[in-house]
Structure 1
Amino acid sequence: MFSPKGLVVELYRKVVKPLGEEDKIFRLFIGGRGVATYVFWKLGGHRVDPLSGDNPLIIATGPLTGTGIPMSGRAAAVFRSPLTGIIGASNLGGRLGPVMRFTGVDILAVLGKAERPTYLLIQDGKVEFRDASHLWGKDAIETEEILLKEHGKNAAVLAIGPAGENLVKFASINHDIWRQFGRTGGGAVMGAKKLKAVVFVPDRQQVEVAMPEKLREFLREFTPYFVGEKSVKALFDAGTMRLVELANQMGFFPTYNWQRVSLEGWEKIAWPSFRREYFLRPGACLHCPAACHRLVESRKYGVSVDIDYETVFALGGLTGCADPDEMIRLNDLADRLGMDTISLGNAIAFAIEAAKMGKLGAKLEWGCGDLAKLVEDIAYRRGVGDILAEGVREAARRLGLEEIAVHVRGLEPAGYDPRVLKGMALNYAIGYRGADHLATMAYALDYGGYAGGPQSLGEEKVRAVAHMEEVSALFDSLVMCKFGRGVYDTYPGGRGFEIFAQLLTYVTGHKWDGKSVRDVALRIINLTRVINLEMGAGPDSLPERLYRPVQFEGKEYRLALEELEAALKTYYKLRGWDDAGKPTNEVLKELQLDFLIGAR
């Protein structure tokens, strides 16, 4: 039987204690984001300041992690976001998830603030507190390299850079050079705790499963299907970079701070250009045959990075920069300094527009310019960088420029314009982290032509988006890569929730079925909703700019407020929530969330 282990670490007192009730918690929430969100609630994270030592930083794996199941090698993090003030969450690939489980720890909750810079060393299910004074001030990649040299190449390292130390509100937690807990400011949470890094040293190379022969039989049949499936082949061929071309051809590529939907000269930063002049090799997370990472090198700047669509959209499209060398250079800087490139690009684009309006006290222009200096200024909070380090919402408030600020609940959006891909309008409005493209992955429904096509926001699209929200919550809690959503849903041997029920049964020894798996997803969605309401999450809405029409190839694309309001009404009804979007007591009881009743 699956028997998870959790630890609670208190930095100031240097105390480690067991989490308790692991079996019950994992049964109710599976793992990853679900378990971490529940622990966040139990530890009172919703009552504390995001940059206080009391804000729990929770890192969690799932029962499938480390088993070799394709796309199961991820880990999740949950905390109160310093950027948004509500649930902050992220997940990453690389090697962290499996290696963490190989140390004998399934979930780690970190509380308190260390007296001096500290890193945690975790091995054999135990925690050591190590001095990190010699690492403070170093960039995230350099920090990881030093710790790997000291603790061995099989270790997995989480580290922050100067942005996290300086409490940049969208600072990331970095791993495996180019992987990040990127969104919502986890790096600032670590910086506020004086926690420079966490190092996991494995003492084994596998995890036990309840039915090993059943799992081996499944993998023998599933893995060839997985490798040959068309969505996986597309990832292997071009990674997410293939979307640059699609987004510009369909007109959903946000540019010039969300004022246009295609970038002049976009061909220079599309995948064919990168592949021809800059491509080194593909890369993969542990236990993933898809190898969707695109490692590229700029000979001009002498740096290499793992480039992706969101980075090119944010640092290229939003700023009006169509230069591959600059994309690589800025990506490398963001990785080393430790910042989420989506929020960073949105902040820079906002700054350029503000400067051109004469509101920022700095001279900035659309295009590549000297964006590298501005990136560094943000990380070190120098000059205008100090304002931008607060994120777009707060920078706009201070400058009186809310009308040009694009965010939902403080989180800046990813690269899918909701005036063209209307399922994304609902996605961004209900996103539990704010303008979170991975809350429902509705962009795939939209550009794929499903549920009425990209311009549909009727009941069929709302139902599809709600289903994808459940899939997303499940993947975040298993913890699995969402790029596997298509292949797992089409596998003839079991589809959708049923295939994960099958895998959970093999791995944990507990009997699961499709309904019990879906119930977990619904439980997580409702738990998160109540916690966010408790923390003062605002209404489900979009920023003013996204209601303004946009032109593309002679056609006007418009999102009406009434469209979104109608979609929200349908969505609330599907969820069994009240007219204000609050879960009812009946829904909470049905999902075994009675402890939340009265919390609001």
Structure 2
Amino acid sequence: MVKYRVLRLNVSTGDWKIDEYNVEEVLGPIDIALKIHEELATWSKNVFDPDNAVVIGTGIFAGSKIFGAHRLVVVFRSPESKTIHVSEMGGAGYRFIGCGVNAISVEGRSSEPAIVFVKGGEKGVAEVNIRRMQWNKLEEIYRGYDGYIGAYALEKYLIDTFWNEISSMKARPIVVGPAAYKTVYGAIISVDVDFTKKKFVDGSEEFAARGGGGSVLAQAHNVAAIVAGGSYKPELPKQLTDPTEFLKSMKAILGKDFVQSVNEATVKYRFDPSIGAGGTFGVNYPHYRELLPLFNFNSIYLHKSIRKKLVDLILEHFWKPVKMESFDLAKSWTTCGEPCPVSCKKIWRGKKLDYEPSNALGPSIGVFKIELSRNLIDLADQLGFDAIGIGHVVAWLLESVYKDLLKPEEVGLDRKPNMDPMLMNIDEWSVNAQLAEKILKGLVEGSTDVLRIVAKGVRFACKQLNNMFSDRVKSIGVRFEDLVLYQPYGEEGYMTPNYYWTPGFLLPLPVTGKYWTNYTTTFSEPEEFAKVVATRAIKELEISNTGLCRFHRGWAEKILPKLYELVGAKVDLDQHAKKLYRKIAEYCIKANAKPKLVEGEKAKDVIATLATEFNVEEWNKKFLSNKEDAIKEWISRAIKAIAMQIELPEAWYKDI
């Protein structure tokens, strides 16, 4: 039977050990992470306590011939939600698995910023070293190195300084940027390396970003980078490693050719001929059209005819230039760093563009010129931010200044933004890009009192700013939380949603901010909506725990049990995933971070306006009559139905 192996590393002392588990006991990285967090009782500690843990690992199929099986999954206690969060980066597991273990658990705190080296040999982990760097040196690198700043500068410095080790290990460094040390919005980042040219592979930058895992790695453990790789090859059956045997076994399982099955299931992410583009950026804009969230989600208040005019501008000035250069003129595509026919990374002028970061630092902040958005995404990435989450922060601050809750100088700006969607002038809106750049830099630098507060988290900042500017809040009649979207957790936690106009990201679920939900832009009876939420939460958890890319879910979900049988694990995957989901829910309760009803007016309106958009007459009347009661009824009924389907305890929904 295949074993799942985890390296337990204490970066305070440098001590380490390897634990092994039968695959039926530990199917993947979420399993082992929950075991470790349970053992350490991390729910009882501060998020940035050194006795916390950041678990970074692959699924059991890393090292196989399965396309998409090399995601690196990161599980940690989030400084945003205050409970367990799961974040993933594509492709990085392809190099990582050579280090000799499936996962690394980072524990303790280094006295100085640490660079962890884990080298694998033929029999497993051969060497573990911790190189420590003075903070002044790390800051110097972050300020600029070889044309890069932040996280990219650190990775390039590591490549240049430790090239002999990195190239011999064929390692892909995993790093954090200054945003991880200075805010709660820090991502974990890795850019793939071209070992023949000693340079980055354009477009193959990947991020385990949602939830602030980079901030925990930096602030709790003082780990700036992990370099893991080597010559170890996992002990997997020939049906998964030998090319001929693999294709034969997959055809028997799928009933048809493997590559054909993959191509059919990944049309959106590879290339959709009906649209003439591919990838999330290429497909989502022409697909969602008037349902796109624009101007900090204020588009939900606009008539459909106005939204159509805005979308026409987006398609012409934001989407079309990418389609022309990256699809019509040349196929500027690459992979996340592992062999895969999908090549979902669509590159425009040297930068990978996905829908959510592009919308976060584009139309959601009123920027409709793709070249301006591209530069903002690159800045956010290099500083080491979660681009999706920081987009909400920037949009919220811009709207707060626009509506006079804040003065420009209080967030380091020299003028007011333009957040008026009715203007229909992309040049006038473009000032927002310059202001967004100042905010991104100001958050890392802590340039104003307000930005230093915001760096600690959105929900915390809302409460602080309501008190600081109580006269403005009273005179304007708007609280800070009314202008930003988040799902609240406990008294302090929160999670910002993904960029879809849907109730699915604003439900009191154990894990939000990722696709473990129904993210369809629609509105229906709560029990009907809940069925899809519960099903997708479990299926997406299974894919995450397997270390498979969710872009491959179309074919992979159908055969996961048979794949596990190949490594000796005969389990009921749905029941196993439900058990894991319940463990996360129990963790929320123990951490005093149980999710609550949405508390901001715009968050409530995301749900209420959908009843109007889809002409659901009964619910539209309820929302117009008493929005508070109707929101509570819809969410309470939905979460009860979800809890019953997943078998969450009654305590989960009874007080919602």
Q: TM-score range by the shorter chain?
A: 0.7 to 0.9
**Aligned counterpart, 2:439:** 374
The aligned residue for residue 598 of structure 1 is none
Does the 8 Å contact 2:487/2:595 carry over to 1?
no
1:4 aligned counterpart, secondary structure: strand
Alignment match of 1:218 (pick from 214, 235, 249): 249
| Structure 1 partner of 2:293 | 254
The residue that corresponds to 1:493 in the other structure is none
What are structure 1's unaligned runs of at least 5 residues?
298-303, 419-424, 448-453, 490-495, 584-600
SS of 2:117's partner is: strand
TM-superposed deviation, 1:582: 6.5
Q: Answer whether contact 1:269 1:322 (CA < 8 A) is retained.
A: yes
Contiguous gaps of at least 5 residues in structure 2: 143-149, 192-203, 272-276, 301-306, 409-414, 420-428, 467-479, 489-493, 624-629
Q: Where does residue 156 of structure 1 map in the other structure?
A: 172
Tell me which residue corresponds to 2:343.
Answer: 291
Write the mapping of 1:301-320 to structure 2, written as runs, cut at 5 A. Answer: 304-320=350-366
Distance 1:90 1:230, change over 3 A: closer
Classify the secondary structure of the residue corresponding to 1:538.
Answer: coil
Q: In 2, distance between residues paired with 1:339 and 1:556? A: 39
TM-score with structure 2 setting the length = 0.77
CA distance in 1, matches of 2:596, 2:94: 36
| 1:337 aligns to 2:383 (yes or no) | yes
**1:399 Cα offset (Å):** 1.3
Confirm or deny that 1:165 pairs with 2:193: no
Q: Percent identity?
A: 22
What is the distance in 1 between the residues matched to 2:556 and 2:5?
28
Do the aligned partners of residues 252 and 431 (structure 1) sit closer, same or farther apart at CA in structure 2, a change above 3 Å counting? Answer: farther
The 1-side partners of 2:216 and 2:649 are apart by 34
Task: Find the aligned partners of 1:86 and 1:53 in 2 and give their Cα distance.
Answer: 16
For residue 115 of structure 2, give the secondary structure of its aligned residue in structure 1: strand
The number of residues matched between the two structures is: 542
The partner residue of 1:500 within 516, 535, 560 is 560
1:591 alignment partner in structure 2: none
Q: Do 2:176 and 2:187's aligned partners in 1 also have CA atoms closer than 8 Å? A: yes
Summarize the alignment of residues 12-411 of structure 1 with structure 2, pairs less than 5 Å apart: 12-18=12-18, 20=19, 22-24=20-22, 26-94=23-91, 96-124=92-120, 125=125, 126-133=127-134, 134-136=137-139, 137-138=141-142, 139-149=150-160, 150=162, 151-153=165-167, 154-166=170-182, 168-176=183-191, 178-192=205-219, 193-204=221-232, 206-212=233-239, 215-219=246-250, 221-232=256-267, 234-236=269-271, 237-246=277-286, 248-249=288-289, 251-261=290-300, 262=307, 263=310, 265-268=313-316, 270-277=318-325, 281-285=332-336, 286-297=338-349, 304-362=350-408, 363-365=415-417, 366=419, 367-369=429-431, 370=434, 371-383=436-448, 384-400=450-466, 401-409=480-488, 410-411=494-495
In 2, the alpha carbon distance for the partners of 1:155 and 1:115 equals 25
Residues 1:485 and 2:537 are matched in the alignment: no
CA contact 1:393–1:405 (8 Å) conserved in 2: no
Change (3 A) 1:81 1:217: same
Q: Does the 8 A contact of 2:78 with 2:213 survive in 1?
A: yes
Write the deviation string for residues 373-425 of structure 1: whole angstroms up to 9, x where unpaired: 2111112222243233223212211111222231013111111112xxxxxx2
CA contact (8 A) 1:74 1:91 kept: yes
Structure 1 pair 411/269, CA: closer, same or farther in 2 (3 Å)? farther
Give 2:511's aligned residue: 433
Equivalent residue number for residue 417 of structure 1: 501
Q: Specify the structure having the higher radius of gyration (Cα).
A: 2
What's the RMSD between the two structures over aligned residues?
2.5
Conservation of the 8 A alpha-carbon contact between 1:29 and 1:520: no
Preserved contact between residue 55 and residue 105 of structure 2 (Cα < 8 Å): yes
1:260–1:551 CA contact under 8 A, matched in 2: no
Q: What's the CA shift string for 1:265-294, capped at 9, x where partnerless?
A: 221455433122467711112032211111
Q: Deviations over 1:333-374 (max 9, x none)?
A: 011100011111100111012112322232431333212121
1:512 aligns with 2:570: yes
TM-score for the superposition, normalised by structure 1: 0.84
Matched-pair contact (CA < 8 Å) for 1:244–1:270: no
Q: Which amino acid aligns with 2:446?
A: R
- Aligned partner letter, 2:13: R
Residue by residue over 1:99-150, the C-alpha shift from the partner in whole angstroms, topping out at 9 and shown as x without a partner, is 2221111111111111112100000213101123344452111211222332
Pairing 1:563–2:628 present: no
Query: Cα–Cα, structure 1 residues 132 and 433, in superposed 2: closer, same or farther, change >3 Å?
Result: farther
For the 8 Å contact 2:317–2:370, the answer to whether it is kept is yes
- Give the residue type in structure 2 aligned to 1:512: K
Q: What secondary structure is seen at the aligned counterpart in 2 of 1:374?
A: helix
